[in-house]
Amino acid sequence: MGEGGADRVTLTLLRHLDRRLFRLTLVLMRAEGPWLAEVPADVERLELGGNFPGGGRLWTAWRPLARLLRRRPPDVLFSTSGGTNLIAALAIPAAAGRTRLVLSERSMLRRPGQPLKRRALLLAKRLLYGRADAVTAVSAEVAADLVERLRLDPRRVRVVYNPLATPELEGLAAAEPEHPWFGGAPGRAPGPPVVLGVGRLLPVKGFDLLIAAFARVRARRPARLVVFGEGPARGALERLVCRRGLDDCVSLPGFDPNPFRYMSRCALFVLSSHSEGLPGALIQAMACGAPVVATDCPGGPAEVVTDGADGLLVPAGDEAALAAAIERLLGDPELARRLGRRAIDSAARFSLPTVLGSYEAALLGEPAAQAATGAAPEGATEAG
């Protein structure tokens, strides 16, 4: 239950799935991470690494999971991330046909970097995803990518958006900020305007592009950049900040469990990714009323943002275009306010009531309209 968007979505589902329909067990490789303490008390937890020998590593976890499925086959095994999808698909024969397997794919299969590793993963998914009764995709583009690259039956692939605009969001957005560059009521921050990024510090998130674009903006006007998140690219990003002479106006404070209090107070939010599945931080920033700029990368941004109506889209990887869009919003407060207001309405498509019925229908194997009633399946399991 780590820092990623998939883990946050898993927690949301554990909190809000209808207990009249499901009894939930959370299966983890390792019982750790910042969201673990937030798991509801009525959710049973099993740790493959602790309860079962050899379960703490990704590529050996399928064996103890198979033993668990053989001993206690649930009605539904739901895997919530691309890595555990392979483990779930490897283990599912142990259930001997007694368990419905639902996989969730959250990223585009075509992504930059690590071509050999990605080709191996693509082959493994092509071989194993056919075992699933259903595969949920977080965006229409991800769904089309799955059908094309994995040769899946389109009837088994469902678009199910992430429940990102949750009831808790308003209260979290109003919480007092801790970072010194923010303060006051939502919609206001002291000092120079703050550009915000949120996400795992990974190359695919393009934060190096954001820092380079911000350097162009900073050369022409006072501004600050804050990127909340943690990950293996931290060292490279810190060196880039130092090399560009931005130490006094760029902050990388690490992971924050409540970035929404900053989304509601920033001058604008930027998604700089090279690839996405469905950009959760972008949607949540829009739900908080932040004006947004997003790269039009594969996997979701164009499905979320209508350019010029509720945000701005720029070509992926284009440093100059990203800088120009940031400067445009910083220099036109009325445009920024208008886009921020419209963003709130656009984010309603990803609200919890709208999305939850689609998730429940996928788990139950029913059309969305039939997911509102029914008895609780035995031992419905969610594998994280």
Residue 168 has pLDDT above 60, yes or no: yes
- Backbone φ and ψ of 224, nearest 5°: -130, 155
Residue 234 has pLDDT above 60, yes or no: yes
Q: What is the pLDDT of residue 75?
A: 97
How far are the Cα atoms of 11, 70, 125, 139, 369 from residue 17, in angstroms, in the given order? 10, 25, 28, 21, 16
Q: Nearest CA to 129 among 142, 115, 114?
A: 142
Residue 375 has pLDDT above 60, yes or no: no
Q: What is the pLDDT of residue 229?
A: 95
Does residue 375 or residue 149 have the better pLDDT? Answer: 149
Residue 326 has pLDDT above 50, yes or no: yes
Asked whether 142 and 135 are in contact (CB, 8 A), the reply is no
- Backbone φ and ψ of 285, nearest 5°: -65, -40
pTM summary value: 0.76
Q: What is the pLDDT of residue 110?
A: 66
pLDDT tens readout for residues 38-91:
999 999 999 987 655 555 567 788 999 999 999 999 999 999 888 899 999 999
Q: What is the pLDDT of residue 135?
A: 95
Share of the chain above pLDDT 90, in %: 68
Q: What is the mean pLDDT of residues 259-285?
A: 94
CA–CA separation, 20 and 377 (whole Å): 9
Q: Nearest CA to 179 among 81, 294, 256, 284?
A: 256
Q: What is the pLDDT of residue 384?
A: 44
pLDDT tens readout for residues 87-113:
999 999 999 999 999 999 988 886 555
Q: What is the pLDDT of residue 236?
A: 97
